[in-house]
Amino acid sequence: MTKVHGTGVYDFKRHHVAEYPVELADKPETKPPHSSSLPSSITLSEIQRDQLTRIAAANWLKSGGSKPEKPFDPQLVKEIYETELTVKSEGKSQRKTVPLQRVMILEVSQYLENYLWPNFDAETASYEHVMSMILMVNEKGRELTIAEKTNYLVFMINAFQSLEDEIVRETVLRLASLRSWHSLLYGRFQMELCLNPDLIKKWKRMIKKESDDAKKLGVHLDPLSSLEVNFLRNLIEEFLEVLDHKVFTQKNPVSEDDELNASSIFDQVDDASILYCERFMEFLIDLLSQLPTRRYLRPLVADVAVVAKCHISALYRHEKGKLFAQLVDLLQFYENFEINDHVGTQLTDDEVLQSHYDRFQSFQLLAFKKVPKLQELALANVGAIHKRVDLSKKLSVLSPEELKDLVCSKLKLVSNEDPWSDRVDFLIEVMVSFFEKHQSQKEAINALPLYPNEQIMWDESVVPSINYSGEGCLALPKLNLQFLTLHDYLLRNFNLFRLESTYEIREDIQEAIPHLLSYINNEGETAFRGWSRMAVPIREFKITEVKQPNIGEVKPASVTAAITYSISSYKSQIRSEWDALKEHDVLFLLSISPSFKPLSAEEEAKASVPQKLGLQYVRGCEIIEIRDEEGTLMNDFSGRTKREEWKPPKGELRTVTVALDAAQYHMDVTDIAEKGAEDVYGTFNVLMRRKPKENNFKAILESIRDLMNEYCIVPDWLHKIFLGYGHPSAAQWINMPDLLETVDFKDTFLNAGHLKESFSHYQVCFVDSDGRETLDPRPPFRIKLPRSLKSDTHAPSENGRSDTGVNDAKMVDACVEKEKLIVEAYIPPDPGPYPQDQPKQNSVRFTPTQIGAIISGIQPGLTMVVGPPGTGKTDTAVQILNVLYHNCPSQRTLIITHSNQALNDLFEKIMERDVPARYLLRLGQGEQELATDLDFSRQGRVNAMLVRRLELLSEVERFARSLQLPEDVGYTCETAGYFWLLHVYSRWEQFIAACAGNEDKPAFVQDHFPFKEFFSNTPQAVFTGQSFEKDMRAAKGCFRHLKTMFQELEECRAFELLKSTADRANYLMTKQAKIVAMTCTHAALKRKDFLQLGFKYDNLLMEESAQILEIETFIPMLLQRQEDGYARLKRCILIGDHHQLPPVVKNMAFQKYSHMDQSLFTRFVRLGIPYIELNAQGRARPSIAELYNWRYRDLGDLPSVKEEAIFYRANAGFSYDYQLVDVPDYHGRGESAPSPWFYQNEGEAEYVVSVYIYMRLLGYPANKISILTTYNGQKLLIRDVINRRCLPYDFIGPPSKVTTVDKFQGQQNDFILLSLVRTRFVGHLRDVRRLVVAMSRARLGLYVFCRRSLFEQCYELQPTFQRLLQRPDHLALNLNEGTSFTERHVDDIGHPYLVSGVEEMANIVFGRIDQLQQARAMYQYMAYSEQLMGTSEEQNNEQDSTSPNQAMEVDTSVAENGGINNDVHESNGREAKEDGEDHANGQDGVLPSEDQPNTENETQVSTNDENTVT
């Protein structure tokens, strides 16, 4: 059967990608200004030459399997720590990191594994030994830290974030266990036990066990002496000591009444201590945001009053403590999170409110009895005094001694011995934070504006710059393994998605505004000299309507404004872009006010981005409608304007009506009223739009917010696993109820031998429908599946490889008799007499692993399939859908993918299976790219149903005529239904009854079949009259055809009754379609519509799920309302590959710090949830597959890639099927960066294009060649070179695609030319996942152009580059091969000619082009001469197809004038759509678009494609 990996064991290490900073003490700064923050990297040769490597070789490095004989030397550890690992801070900022290069070299030499850890003894280990271990572990986590205390803290953060590792989990959870409550104050301890009575028994059992253990050891029981009891409390107290005494070196005493600015009171700020405090906040937030550690730590944090002490600390108010203050607020949020810590259930709003009232009433009762001065507070109603201001005022009547007695003795919230307890401000803060009414999370999220404003947009601690290095922490939530509740999950994703959108909007503003060239005119007003494609000056802005707030809210129900702008300065293309704006598009209102004088160089260096741009305010809005200069409605989608009445917009002025954000408007108006702030809405002078594909953030944020306002239910079987708890295999199909006991696999198995291969662990016994053994079994097959299929199911060991016991198990299996698997080989009923009745058949021979994935997918529960490149993920997914449709015909399935390309690939393959087209529906904008004659959009399906209705009704009329009945029975679907019941079905029943006693008459069926005349037009005779059984089977087939026909008519009846197109389309989506497909973005955008329409589905299949953001995976699970409190979802099938690129997150901080690029698929793999890894690729030559298959467990090759001629035949004109081509400096330059992060390499661009031209001249089809690169800058450069060198020649033209590796994920082509660009630093190709994608796109030929000296030294990429460098690093050509076809075997390198470099390759190409042009000129001259001599037209055409020039042997279509130009240039490519808007200058759109793209699962090329140019 199949291997299932990840069964409950740590099976995945988070990918870390980082360049290693190098300090250049003596060398002058040579980097360009934009790349000054770029870190350097360390090479293999540097590692080998380093002194540390020599020390390692002598002391701990294993070589040849033997270990050095030198004993462990603690002094050596101390020396290494002091000389190599200690930060030297003389003259430098204290926020510098540890020397990462030195740590990296020690990490490579396995210093931790071979020396520190084996020789570690907790009793005798030195301080340097422990700190060295911490630094080495931190290096594995790639966290950059400074001081040693912070290093220790980061180590603890990494440990508590790695709870999926069993050893780490068992160790660190002891530090946050119930034992830590020994250190609680007695009052707090009593309160916690009273609130959680179930813990009393657990506490008593723990005390008894501790006592028994102490007696056995003969020692006195003293819990407070235990490290585990005091560890976290001591850590917290150490932090408070640093916060109070070490952040500021000189401090004047501050009273609670002091209103001075904190920054003026303190002289010296210690940066290292601030970083430590920030990291400690991060540490506590991490502990409180995951349930295993939160349960027992939260009372400890409350007991020490960490949040209250931080709130009144000087750092909280200091200008350098902004990030610290944000982290404290986040910690307070998690301390008060609405959850039952010990049960793990989310508290409802009512429960939270009731708890607050109970607590406050208890306090009032105590105050009434024991504190006479608080009589007024005790008798007041709760609503009047539970706010912070009111409560503080009521408590101020107490003297400091009375307040301390109340807080410490009566309420026992803080210890009497706490030094902070003498401060009145601290005591009041403790009281207020404990008793005040906190704003509920739901209220907070509903009051939050969905659009970002200028304050959050340029706050570096919340939305950091792109060059975030990983040092320090941020005030951001993290997406790790576990979440407290679904609400917590949604809230973290909401905040991160909102901030990621903010970052993208900020970048767009910074790109668009400078082009406007703003200045102050003579009237003192802002004016603009320039123009911007994405931003236009506003002529007039006015607020037209502010509606009254809804009941229970303070913000207005809606705020509407009208904006007038002119498009007169734009050319027609950009005008059409502005006129294409439509309802619900998001625009941004900007207030620009530049300084009167230009900023000096010194001022510019210090100025913030808004100051440089003159940007004052940013507000978002959503389009309601847009009108032209005459007030005519444009782009109306409401139906008010009929299509035939639509006219082009008039004039150059446009007025757009927009909806402003009501929450933001309320905040602005409140600031104007209370603080006298400027009227923001009177200052707007620029309107900015964004690219439509990137501007859907608001709809997604609204979907998340709606989910937070609902009681959303994930299916019970998925709930715990989704949050990261419970047994990892709990949702696997073998543990689920309501299994499909018998499965009809239809056309899954091609023959009996195929089935036996798939169930090799069983003795397969074939029986017929009567249960008798059959000797000639043929598909289709029904199988009664046992609950636990025998297979190589196992839990992988820590390194991700199989357990050693598997081989022994196989040997035992060979000796033991195999268990029987009963397979029913049944004869399917006759589908009908017409060709269209015959079902479409699968032709893919699925591997045993794919069969295992199909079995898991059709059963209820969670199925995860890891599909390495070319392993047939799409084929597997399609067969799951096919089998599921036939076994559960009443269920509906939702298909989700990341890209339109993948969705179309999947959809096109579904159409080749036996699933009726009327049950398929494709939603979203990419439907028009489907390579099919049928229209699968909602409108297309409605039209198809109406056309089909007319076809069927005409058939009914013909049927009626054949029965001598009136034709009007075919007037409507309703009359056809009555006709079926009264005339057709009754006749059939009479026929069956008549046949009952006449089985011995061979011609009886032929003579008595009632519908013979109707079926007289079949291609072949229906009945033979020679066998009753055969004729009866044919008769049933005919009846099945009729039944299907009338069933289709019944389905068409709704379209007959519903009159409007919208109603018909909605009925189709919610009732008719059985398989509905859309992208994850469309699902998030339209969720509200789906809920309103009552959309339902039972199964969810998600392709490319490792490329989809967590939240975009979650939303499709909740596109329907629960039924009676239960979720309807029965199956969730996730298909992806976490070894390829993750979801795209543009901001590095959200990637590195918040792990936002971790998909749900990847998180499930990390949690150890069982998954099936497909293990045979059918895309690439085995030799090319070896470049990346080392990244997977057991990735092998399908027989087709070894047997088919196309795979063992060499690439004509090339000596090798893959090669690394070293590209030296071209004109003295390697990589360049005209602008930040915009890397180019002219030498590689010229070389790649020369090789492409060479291939085209040989006759390689253009649509079989793709050019990939790792940077957008290089992509644009290569397109420019192609425009210059290829387009002038009609016989060359552009390639299939020129794009980036990231954009090409999920696609493939026969030949890939890859440019790696970089010559100074490796860059983001250091991420092995990007390397896997780059290496796995080619089927037949891969040619990598790069700087050898750089990439061969990159440690992470060694397995691939070592294999590449086994071949010459100069391009090896076979110049004697003149066409794209050769009989040479792929292992035969022929007569290689090594090209010396870029210039020589260009000369080879130019020489061939000259020869070709001379040959064409000669040919045209000969043709013209023959025409003059009176040669016939026919002869002329024949000779026109062959070139007489033997030197070039050019293919027919190359020689023909314009033979390829028409095909390539006329095709409407998707690449221009994807990339055409990358830059405002429109460079991306210059390149003519590609032909039909090659999909991931294309496995063979036709002979014609090999030899001809398209």
The 10s digit of each residue's pLDDT in 452-491 is 999 999 888 788 876 676 667 888 899 988 999 999 999 9
Rounded Cα gap, residues 675 and 654, in angstroms: 35
Tell how strand 781-784 and strand 819-825 pair up.
antiparallel
Place of tokens 């900020």: 506
Report how far residue 265's alpha carbon sits from residue 254's, in angstroms, rounded to the nearest whole number: 9
Q: Cα(337)–Cα(295) distance, rounded to whole angstroms? A: 12
Of the two residues 220 and 1060, the one the predictor is more confident about is: 1060
Task: Tell me which long-range contacts 168-174 makes (C-beta under 8 A, separation of at least 24).
Answer: 173/292, 173/293, 174/228
DSSP reduced 3-state for 1101: strand
Residue given tokens 């490095």 in the structure block:
61
What is d(CA 926, CA 1297) in angstroms, rounded to the nearest whole number?
A: 19
Q: Which helix (H) or strand (E) holds 503?
A: helix 486-512
Q: Which residues contact 981 (CB under 8 A, 6 or more apart)?
A: none
Tokens representing residue 331 in the block: 């910690």
Contact 632, 649 (CB under 8 A): yes
**Of 991, 1030, 987, whose CA–CA distance to 1007 is shortest?**
991
Separation of alpha carbons 760 and 765, rounded Å:
12
Q: What is the pLDDT of residue 1333?
A: 95
3-class SS shares of the chain: helix, strand, coil, % to 5? 50, 10, 40
Angle between helices 716-723 and 486-512 (to 10 degrees): 60
- For residue 483, which of 1136, 1121, 1163 has the smallest C-alpha distance? 1163
* Average pLDDT score over residue span 889-905: 91
**What is the number of helices (H) and of strands (E) in the chain?**
61, 32
DSSP string, 97-125: PP-HHHHHHHHHTTHIIIIITTT--TTT-
How confident is the model over 852-866, as pLDDT tens digits?
999 999 999 999 999
3-state secondary structure of 991: helix
Of 32-36, 513-517, 897-901, the poorest mean pLDDT is in 32-36
Hey, how many other C-beta atoms are within 10 angstroms of the C-beta on 981?
Answer: 10
Looking at per-residue pLDDT, the higher value among 1487 and 96 belongs to 96
Contact (CB, 8 A) for 541 and 681: yes
pLDDT score at 1471: 44
Average pLDDT (280-307) is 92
Report angle CA 1496, 1498, 1501 to the nearest 5 degrees: 140
Look at 53-67, 614-628, 1018-1032, 1381-1395 and tell me which has the smallest mean pLDDT: 53-67
- Strands 893-897, 1099-1102: pairing is parallel
Coil, strand, or helix at residue 901? helix
Q: What's residue 1243's pLDDT?
A: 96
Please say whether the beta carbons of 863 and 1132 come within 8 A: yes
- Residue holding tokens 């009521």? 394
Q: How many CA atoms lie within 13 A of 854 on its CB side?
A: 30
Q: What distance in Å separates the CA atoms of residue 590 and residue 1064, rounded to the nearest whole number?
A: 43
Q: How far is CA 1469 from CA 1301, 1473, 1491, in A?
A: 18, 7, 6
Q: How far is CA 368 from its chain centroid?
A: 57
* pLDDT of 800 higher than 80: no
User: For 1305-1320, what is each residue's pLDDT tens digit?
Assistant: 989 999 999 999 999 9
The yes-or-no verdict on residue 225 having pLDDT over 70 is: yes
Residue 114 and residue 136 in contact, taking contact as beta carbons nearer than 8 Å: no
pLDDT tens, 324-346? 999 999 999 999 998 988 888 88
- What is the distance between the alpha carbons of residues 316 and 304, in angstroms, rounded to a whole number? 18
Cβ–Cβ contacts within 10 Å for residue 1025, how many? 15
pLDDT at position 325: 93
Instruction: Give the mean pLDDT of the chain.
Output: 83
Record the tokens describing residue 489, joined without a space. Answer: 């999950």
Q: Which of 2-6, 1125-1129, 1383-1387, 1497-1501 has the highest mean pLDDT?
A: 1383-1387
Q: State CA 959 to chain mean position distance.
A: 54
Which residue, 1459, 1475, 1465, 1486, is CA-closest to 1283? 1486
Is the pLDDT reported for residue 1017 higher than 80? yes
Average pLDDT over residues 134-140: 73
pLDDT at 782: 94
Q: Is residue 796 over pLDDT 70? A: no
CA–CA gap between residue 1218 and residue 1456 (Å, rounded): 31
Bridge partners (DSSP) of residue 1346 are: 1222
User: What is the Cα–Cα distance from 1197 to 871, expressed in whole angstroms?
Assistant: 9
pLDDT of residue 63: 58
At residue 1384 the predicted structure's pLDDT band, cuts being 50, 70 and 90, is very high
**Residue 554 pLDDT exceeds 90:** no
CA distances in angstroms from 846 to 1171, 1210, 1307, listed in the order given: 18, 28, 21
Least confident of 913-917, 1232-1236, 1244-1248: 1232-1236
Residue 1378, token pair as written in the block: 């003149």
DSSP labels, 645-666: G-----SSEEEEEEEE-HHHHH
- In sequence order, what are the beta bridge partners of 240? none
User: What's the rounded Cα separation, in Å, for the pair 266 and 710?
Assistant: 49
Given a cut of 70, is residue 570 above it in pLDDT? yes
Instruction: Answer yes or no: are the C-beta atoms of 1132 and 1117 closer than 8 Å.
Output: yes
Taking a C-beta distance cutoff of 8 angstroms, is the pair 1271, 1233 a contact? no
Residue 1265 in 3-state DSSP? Answer: strand
Cis peptide before 780 (omega within 30 of 0): yes
The arithmetic mean of pLDDT across residues 1286-1297, rounded, is 91
Q: How far apart are CA 851 and CA 857, in angstroms?
A: 10
Report the C-alpha gap between 1483 and 1478 in whole angstroms.
8
pLDDT of 442 reads 82
What b/e sequence results for 1356-1366 when a residue is b if at least 16 CB atoms lie within 10 Å of its CB, and e otherwise?
bbeebbebbee
CA distances from 737 to 793, 1098, 1198 (A): 20, 15, 35
Token pair 């070293």 in the structure block, residue: 1222
Backbone region of residue 1265 per phi and psi (left: phi > 0; alpha: psi in -120 to 50; beta: other values): beta
CB atoms within 10 A of CB 1353: 19
Mind listing the pLDDT tens digit for each residue in 1420-1445? 888 887 777 765 444 444 444 433 33
* Whether 932 contacts 941, CB under 8 Å: no
Structure tokens at 976: 């056809």
pLDDT, average across residues 1372-1379: 92
Write out pLDDT tens, residues 29-59: 333 333 333 334 566 677 777 888 888 888 8
Residues 698-723: what's their mean pLDDT?
88
Decide if pLDDT at 1470 tops 80: no
Q: With beta carbons less than 8 A apart as the criterion, state whether 699 and 1085 touch.
A: yes
